[in-house]
A and B are shown apart, each in its own frame.
Chain A
């Protein structure tokens, strides 16, 4: 029996820094500890600032999902005022947010995730030459296609939001720019161009066909486009059996529009969907380098423990829903929304393949949503209502970032921010252990992963960790 301890990191090709300590026994991981070694202290900086400044400061938590942060901040401020945004403003905000989420997904797939299949360790596999040609870091043809398609798609954000990243347009009352009729046409044509990229390169088939897949078998057996190449690789490497999540899926619901959220909110477990109750959220600090006790984010505080005392091992807090871990992200979102193929996949439990499949399904579904929203723009209507932020009050802003559920909780006192707490998707997925010793979702997903003799940076671990699309700067902020 052989035992060893392994420190994996820095990970690279993740947003921010990440380090994972593994206990390995007989070629398999027996325990994992995820450490987010980067702390900036946004919540402390926000205290005492003017409430609206959250709209500018929080997006700067993350340069990849800045619109998610700004949408959450706007929602939290809107909640304090008790006012929804103007209908057309909500629509444009959804467009901005949807574009960013899709961009994040294709970036993850092409630049961050599939890159590992081009590694020399896989030489000799039937698919390796194709993976090298498509997915090699910075050189592969898929990376180029993706960077170009993404830059084109982000023209929409440029047009509606002025710039990306760190777009400023989303406000509690709506958006700052009323699109013109000309913008509407440009948005539609940009979306058509992006559809061509998806249909020629990523899916190799009409978007509707991929979005409409109904069974796990159909998704995992997909054989066209880069999605097909990934599925072929995944079948060969058994990725559908790797990286099991907790089986509980959380979604705050994506794209709040006057008629409801386009992807539903809720918590799914064992075949049944329960309504979301954010009152059940508690952030546990037992294994974080943080001072204070477990609390709901409404009452939470962020005071780093400068001594970095044991048993803490991460700057990341451990959020729990009703005391339990949950998985969040594109796959969770599709499960909670009841997409038939996602539900079918969820019956076997989440896995590396399921998470990537969830993202691919969501890319296709979001493209359809974006096209429909673009058609609903009415340039003559109001895009922003004047929303006065009360001098005192509390608010909760819930959105779905590409990587999952993102919540902002704000308290305002005397016209200034009194408390600001953020729980990011990766905070859920990469949380450390809680007081009961229960590992976070990634920590438990890694248990059982194969580690070859002499492997310092085990590939199975790379795939599992990256399948969650970690964003470490958001995690700890």
Chain B
């Protein structure tokens, strides 16, 4: 069973066993516009919940990417670094950013489910 949750910083996270896959939401990509640059955390590094774990840039501005949970970075999606436009095309699936070995599964409980996030996203864009 995998579960997808969402953060207030517009990241999604899918947990399978103790491996969490993290990316940014479709709503985030719509707010950013055309993404032309992506930077990922270092493989093997440890990241802390709500800390920065990458950068995305549109033609207009740079935005930090945060990690919704703590853990060790175990995999990176190099294809979005090579072609950042993939993030606009398929943000919540093939254009994931990084995978973590999650440190504390209870951190998942602090995040929103799909319905909660949809309401949050709608409110934050008005």
The reply to whether chain A is a binding partner of chain B is: no
What residues make up the interface of A, taking CB atoms closer than 8 Å to B? none
